[in-house]
Amino acid sequence: MFKQLLLIFVGGGLGSTFRYLISKSLNSERFFIPYGTFTANILGSLLLGLVLGYAAKHNFLNSNTVLFLAVGFCGGFTTFSTFVLENQALLRSGDYLNFFFYAFGSIIIGILAVFLGLFIWKLS
């Protein structure tokens, strides 16, 4: 159990670090929506689909690898709490149009990204 927790811990730390770097480089006041969080969440969704699609196709469900990549890295890389906070800020400022595009765009594109990742391994 300790090994699994350590894998999640290290994967989550790496994912969080990469998310921070993406957010710092892409989030800007000149954009109407937080592109850094959006990018991290979509890339994380795609990566999750790719990891799970690869694991299913190659019958490679090594629980330690899945814990490290899917639970740890993708869990740390993506962020629901920041997404909700940013949407709350858009609503509070009365920016309903960008709230709509950011909230629903993130959810729809994120789901499509997971499906794309799974689909890529079905094609190969």
Q: What is the pLDDT of residue 102?
A: 97
- 110 annotated among ligand-binding-site residues: no
- Radius of gyration (Cα) for the chain, nearest Å? 16
Q: What is the pTM of this model?
A: 0.91
| The residue count for the chain | 124
Token pair recorded at residue 32: 């109407």
pLDDT confidence bin for 62, thresholds 50/70/90: confident
**Residue 59 pLDDT grade (very low, low, confident, very high; cuts 50, 70, 90):** confident
**pLDDT on residue 75:** 96
Residue at token pair 């799970």: 52
In sequence order, the 6+-apart residues with CB closer than 8 A to the CB of 68 are: 7, 8, 10, 11
75 near 12, Cβ under 8 Å? yes
Where does the pLDDT of residue 10 fall: very low under 50, low under 70, confident under 90, or very high at 90 and above? Answer: very high
Instruction: Please indicate if the annotation marks 75 as binding a ligand.
Output: yes
